[in-house]
Amino acid sequence: MSKGISLSKYLEQNTNEQLAEVIEAIAQGTVAINEKVRVAGLSDIVGVAGTTNVQGETVQKLDLLANDIIIEYLQKGNACAALVSEETDAVLPLKANGSYVVAIDPLDGSSNIDIAAPIGTIFAIWKRKSQGEVNDSDFLQKGKELAAAGYVLFGSSTILMLSVGNGTDAFTLSAEGKYLLSHPKLSIKKEGNIYSVNQGNMFKYDERIIDFINWCDACNAAPNRPFGLRYIGSMVGDLHRTILKGGIFFYPANKGEKKGKLRLLYECIPMSFLVTQAGGASSNGEIPILEIQPEEIHERTAIFIGSEKTVEQCLQIIQQKVSA
Ligand code: P6P
């Protein structure tokens, strides 16, 4: 797959017509979102919308706009049967004859919009299972059953990270508004030296999590310790760095968030699919994220994700199989 080919050509060579249509629709939606994000400060779309979402989180105006844009683009085609979004309480039926369903976080990290820090759109695509009316069961599928997953990072450049199940590839948005292949077949380092966690939550963490953080901070210790700490507070930004530079990102369950904060269906599963397809690993602390059987469309999970050996090292410590 040569650098510079268009997303459309890539999809033509790697997917079927219906799946290509869904991915293209999301990609074109993010091009429209990108135009809004880049000038957010000049229009009345920064700041809070005065509402809270199903998660009870304050909704930013750009969250709602991004959600509307994605729905608009998906509705132009016929391939998407339904949508689950962080911004909508229940399943949103779209095209009855569509073969695929999409779970999406239309604008993740949106609390960073006001400070122009990296934010992103995260999506998961499954082939629908039901025959009749679309329902939750079409979405409550394991991550290992995904047809495709991806994210778009609105950072210093606009990057679409995508996997359709044969590796993970990244596309950069050109000046002409086209996604062109820029990072073919990404491979995450087997062992990293960066850890990414909100240390401000230390007082809420289980002592085994603190053991691992102390392990990362140990001086002059193999491998490559002390690790560097990088935390943007935007999952797409933190995971993009982790895929390209290696290391581990983790958001553990804690005293304040018993099941963790991040959502399984449209944050942790797609991210885990991309990282696993790039040779990395991802766990909820007990089993691989891609093996979890979702039970509720907005459920949350703990996540430990990144370089294979670094994630394994973390699990060994937090499962108390080795001392820190
Ligand atoms: P905290 C952004 O609000 C988000 O959902 C993810 O993008 C990010 O990884 C996480 O929450 C940050 O949470 O509690 O560290 O601010």
**Per residue in 14-56, pLDDT tens?**
999 999 999 999 999 999 999 999 988 887 666 666 776 676 7
Distance from the CA of 14 to the center of ligand 1, in angstroms?
Answer: 33
Task: Find out if CATH 3.40.190.80 is the number for domain 194-318.
Answer: yes
Assign 112 to helix, strand or coil. Answer: helix
Q: Which atom of ligand 1 is nearest to the CA of 200?
A: 15
Tokens 């050109």, residue?
A: 174
Q: Which atom of ligand 1 is nearest to the CA of 249?
A: 9
Q: What is the pLDDT of residues 53-94, one digit of tens each?
A: 676 766 668 889 999 999 999 999 999 999 999 999 999 999
- The pTM score is 0.95
- State the fold for domain 7-183: Fructose-1,6-Bisphosphatase; Chain A, domain 1 (3.30.540)
Picking from 218, 246, 242, 261, the residue whose alpha carbon sits closest to that of residue 111 is 261
CATH 3.40.190.80-classified regions of the chain? 194-318
Mutation pick for ligand 1 pocket among 235, 236, 268 (CB with most ligand atoms within 8 Å): 235
Q: DSSP label at 57? A: P
- Residue 5 phi/psi, 5-degree rounding, is -70, 155
CATH 3.30.540.10-classified regions of the chain? 7-183
CA 74 – CA 22 distance, rounded (Å): 7
Distance from the CA of 262 to the center of ligand 1, in angstroms?
Answer: 7
Q: DSSP label at 198? A: -
Q: Is the CB of 198 under 6 A from ligand 1?
A: yes
pLDDT band at 283 (very low <50, low <70, confident <90, very high): very high
Give me the chain's average pLDDT, please: 94
Q: Where are the beta strands (DSSP E) in 86-137?
A: 92-93, 100-108, 119-127
Q: Is the CB of 224 under 6 A from ligand 1?
A: no
DSSP 159-199: EEEEESSS--EEEEE-TTS-EEEEE-S----SS-SEEE--G
pLDDT band at 1 (very low <50, low <70, confident <90, very high): confident
Radius of gyration over alpha carbons of the chain, in Å?
19
